[in-house]
Amino acid sequence: MNARHRSGTTWGNALISALLHLPLLLLALPTLLLCAQLLAALPHRRAAHPSPWPSRPPLAVLVPAHNEAAGITVTLAAIQRQLTPADQLLVVADNCDDHTAAVAAASATVIERRAPQLRGKAHALAFGLQWLAQHPPAIVICIDADCALDQHALDWLAHRCASSGRPAQARYLMHSPVPATPQHLIAEFAWRLKNCLRALGRERLGMACQLTGSGMALPWSALQNIVLENHLAEDLALGLALAAQGHAPLYCHEAVLHSTFASNAEGAGAQRTRWEHGHLHLLRHHAPRHLLDALRRRNWRHASLALDLCVPPLSLLIMLVALATAIPLLAWLIKPWLLLPCAMLAVTLLATWAVHGRDLLPLRRLGGVVTYILAKIPLYLRRRQRDWIATKRD
């Protein structure tokens, strides 16, 4: 009887221990993948000095715009400087109640879309692609209406897309407004990690690249069987759909786009909620299905994209790893390996900051990172945002 009781107690303790360690085991793979990408991006790479190619395929630049009258002229002027006579520039004035269409008409072809019940960037892109289908270009490049382009960005994207036959994603950077708060600077560094360093790390590891919404070069032939989903993260969903069809996107580090975070709290909150809720929805409901399908078809590029999507937003991952490490320790299940994922993540982020982040965040500012992460807890706890909400700008 005593032996049976001891055996039952042993099994019970083992079960409790396994349950306490399970969260950390589940987080080990996304943590390892994130660290591998950032470490692969650590070595500096010399900036390219692009020069125009003798020729490139005709392209169409598609600019979805919702109430962008105040700033779209600068974006269109930057695009026009990089176009050839064979190229097209199309602006979709989507459900605008300002003068976006009239302002854009001075330098681009403009089509207006009126469908208040169907809001969202995916609807605007689909509307523009339908119009372009009358005279299809070889390549479509999607640029947001609030972006600035570095010199030859379109040439680099078109060249990379045409030479590979695959979609290409530019290096899309977000910058702090002026004057910048410490939270803006931390957000800018986090964006650099996500859209530049992780993308560069994926490229060096042979992985496909996530699409990031602006600076996407898409071969027209790859779009024929694609249905644009109305999703808060329509760019990530589009990348998965293209990869599933055998057209996994690649990264074009040389093509650079710039935009600026909203300076007001309401606009910044809307941006952050849209990006992170959209990502989390895809992680829960789409990534597992895409990963299984890719493995079944032995499509490594598709699998790498689905696996990458399983990495939660950085602030959430840090909170989850810290919590999953603390729970067993609080139960006095003290084992050295429990600290490994947390230590690995901390060392990788510090090394990345030392190489790529000190220009944005001096050492004295690092303490604000904890406050920045904790301030995101309400974002993750609130009910998932379902409807697309435009960013309110000053």
* Domain membership flag for residue 314: no
Q: Residue 89 maps to which CATH number?
A: 3.90.550.10
Ranges of the chain whose pLDDT falls below 50: 1, 8
Q: CA 364, CA 368: separation in Å to the nearest integer? A: 9
Q: Which amino acid is at 160?
A: R
* Domain membership flag for residue 238: yes
Left (φ > 0), alpha (ψ -120 to 50) or beta: where does 125 sit? alpha
pLDDT (0 to 100) of residue 259: 94
Q: Are the C-beta atoms of 359 and 240 separated by less than 8 Å?
A: no
pLDDT (0 to 100) of residue 268: 66
pLDDT (0 to 100) of residue 337: 67
pLDDT (0 to 100) of residue 178: 87
* Domain membership flag for residue 308: no
Domain count, the chain: 1
* Domain membership flag for residue 32: no
* Domain membership flag for residue 351: no
pLDDT (0 to 100) of residue 334: 62
* Domain membership flag for residue 85: yes
Residue 344 half-sphere exposure, CB side, CA atoms within 13 Å? 23
* Domain membership flag for residue 162: yes
* Domain membership flag for residue 75: yes
Q: 3-state SS of the chain?
A: CHHHHHHHHHHHHHHHHHHHHHHHHHHHHHHHHHHHHHHHCCCCCCCCCCCCCCCCCCEEEEEEECCCCCCHHHHHHHHHCCCCCCCEEEEEEECCCCCHHHHHCCCCEEEEECCCCCCCHHHHHHHHHHHHCCCCCCEEEECCCCCEECCCHHHHHHHHHHHHCCCEEEEEEEECCCCCCHHHHHHHHHHHHHHHHHHHHHHHHCCCCCCCCCCEEEEHHHHCCCCCCCCCCHHHHHHHHHHHCCCCCEEEEEEEEEEECCCCHHHHHHHHHHHHHHHHHHHHHCHHHHHHHHHHHCCHHHHHHHHHHCCCCHHHHHHHHHHHHHHHHHCCCCCHHHHHHHHHHHHHHHHHHHHHCCCCCCHHHCCHHHHHHHCCHHHHHCCCCCCCCCCCCC
The domain of 71 spans 59-264
pLDDT (0 to 100) of residue 266: 66
Q: CA 316, CA 312: separation in Å to the nearest integer? A: 6
pLDDT (0 to 100) of residue 286: 87
pLDDT (0 to 100) of residue 115: 87
